[in-house]
Chain A
């Protein structure tokens, strides 16, 4: 009994909002007001952050390595595009939710394939599904526009009130609000008993099953949820850029996403958000140095991160913040990345 109360106590303590988290979101909002000329790239970051959050749910919390997460991003993107193009659902928020639900349905169906087999089979199946969808989108070019992509998408005002402007201001705040709401939901989920059971599965599926966690059902649930998030991210992409092309399904997108999450660190939700900021900045820097070959440097970053070791890098990155907190807070550092290596 005491042990159980203890777990509950720690879980609630973990789930409490910290001032660093509040500061993070205030900072995010402040960026919006400080750099009014950079809305487009900031929208890009927010979208990527949401997408990375989605991968974090399955990779960081459930330990599923996916090489084809762009599949759900692409489904969301095309859904939102088609809904807007044909005027089926003109209102962006409802279209966003519908696109997310469609991706979620596909995620649910494919989750049965993903939970079978070991890591390598999972890699292959996720990669295969993304490639399959790309091939399908190319095949049915009368619907998707083939290699040209969907063209001539016109977005209606959000809730009938806010029109998308050409500077991307409305698009940015719209994306930020969506990200924040979904983040709250994810935060609630990962701190719930359900989230704790996921972590148990990631650490040791066999042991988790032995203490009575329905492993497969939990994995299906989180995979489906992650697909929903990725679908929303894809829909945001289409809605804020007014285009959807075949590259939404591409392998590079899934691989970049992994890099984003790895930069930020897996398994604590903020990883994706921080990673998205750093990744976009890196991309900006690299493409100013060598416009055509920035991929080389991205690859180099990946190789170096792995060789140095992810946990060590995060310790280095957190050294300064922890020192400051220790000095001023006068207590143990609270900024820390949980050890979270996928098996």
Chain B
């Protein structure tokens, strides 16, 4: 029973992390219908920024986290304005080629600058070890992740549902043409959201260094996970990807615990079955774009 709770807890932490990593991609895919396979590269950037600040410059971990966000968001905004912008109207093949090219470049560049071995971020002592909660061992670090990611998710949901910007964004996702007809500056909304999504990915990358492992191959290794979150969750709301990432996180942790030999086999099978069953995602709308 206690192992079940531990698995559930770890799975939720993992899923929350995946959500923060991937929710920017949901917007890119949903809003502009842009297949961005390079999303993991932004996460990796955040992770390495945090690692450099903490390990080399001696910054405290919690001060480095916002900087990971800012650095990734800045790079995201820069790339969006200079490169991505030109490709929104291209075919999916072009978008795939472009983003795969970016992934290759980022992998080689990080390998060149930082070396190919796995990087660990020095954690403050308060985050190490476990808390015993009615016999269930709860990792402090994972608890912190759940708290941070939970707050972020709630904040995102609030922004999307309550603010003017949120309603603009939702309008643009639903129907970009009608939205621009109503005077919403869709490219601007998108640029801002893209940068914000990249920043979240960077923050997720910094947080995930401890759990997922941070090395130059991060964008390639986890690309499929981000895509699963978005395609399975659908891109019409924020709840879809959120539930999908929780499902994926719990499924992956449970799969690795109960059938360790099958490895990632379980996840891929589930994904393919779901996509066959509902090509627009579990929570997506059936209307084809």
**Interface set of A (CB-CB < 8 Å, partner B):** 59, 65, 67, 113, 116-121, 123-125, 127-129, 131-132, 135-136, 138-139, 251-252, 255, 258-259, 262, 292-296, 298-303, 305-307, 310, 341-343
Contact = CB atoms under 8 A, between A and B. Distances in A.
B94 A306 contact: yes
Interface of B: 29, 35, 83, 86-87, 90-94, 96-98, 100-109, 111-112, 220, 223-224, 227-228, 231, 261-265, 268-269, 271-272, 275-276, 279-280, 288-289
B160 to A, nearest CB: 22
Contacts of A301: 101
Contacts of A307: 83, 86-87, 98
A125 B269 CA distance: 10
Contact of B97 (A119, A128, A132, A262): A262
B279 A128 contact: no
The majority secondary structure among interface residues of chain B is helix
A285 to B, nearest CB: 15
A131 B96 CA distance: 17
Contacts of A123: 35, 92, 96, 227
Given A121-B231, A131-B224, A132-B268, A306 B97 contact: yes
Contacts of A139: 261-263, 265
Contacts of A129: 272
Given A120-B35, A293-B112, A299 B103 contact: yes
A341 B272 contact: no
A127 B96 CA distance: 12
27 contacts: A65-B92, A113-B276, A116-B276, A117-B279, A118-B279, A121-B275, A123-B35, A124-B271, A124-B275, A125-B272, A127-B227, A128-B272, A139-B262, A139-B265, A292-B111, A293-B108, A293-B109, A296-B105, A299-B102, A300-B101, A302-B98, A302-B101, A302-B104, A303-B98, A303-B101, A307-B83, A341-B93
Report the 3 A-B pairs with minimum CB-CB distance, sorted nearest first.
A302-B101, A299-B104, A296-B108
Given A296-B107, A299-B105, 5 more contacts: A118-B279, A251-B223, A293-B111, A306-B97, A341-B93
Nearest to A138: B263
A252 B90 CA distance: 23
B90 A306 contact: yes
A117 B223 CA distance: 20
A201 B228 CA distance: 28
Most B CB atoms within 10 A — which of A129, A136, A294, A302? A302
Contacts of B275: 113, 116-117, 121, 124-125, 128
Contacts of B107: 295-296, 299
B225 to A, nearest CB: 11
Contacts, number: 137
B231 A135 contact: no
A305 B280 CA distance: 31
B93 A132 contact: no
Contacts of B269: 132
Contacts of A302: 97-98, 100-101, 104
The majority secondary structure among interface residues of chain A is helix
Contacts of A294: 108
A132 B103 CA distance: 21
A113 B92 contact: no
A139 B255 CA distance: 14
B286 to A, nearest CB: 12
A65 B96 contact: yes
Contacts of B111: 292-293
Most B CB atoms within 10 A — which of A119, A129, A259, A294? A119
B105 A305 contact: no
A305 B269 CA distance: 34
A46 to B, nearest CB: 24
A120 B233 CA distance: 13
A259 B269 CA distance: 28
A125 B275 CA distance: 8
Given A129-B272, A293-B111, A135 B96 contact: no
A118 B235 CA distance: 14
A119 B95 CA distance: 12
A194 to B, nearest CB: 23
Contact of A343 (B91, B224, B263, B276): B91
Nearest to A252: B220
A251 B265 CA distance: 16
Nearest to B263: A135
A234 B126 CA distance: 53
A135 B108 contact: no
A91 B35 CA distance: 45
A259 B279 contact: no
Most B CB atoms within 10 A — which of A128, A131, A259? A128
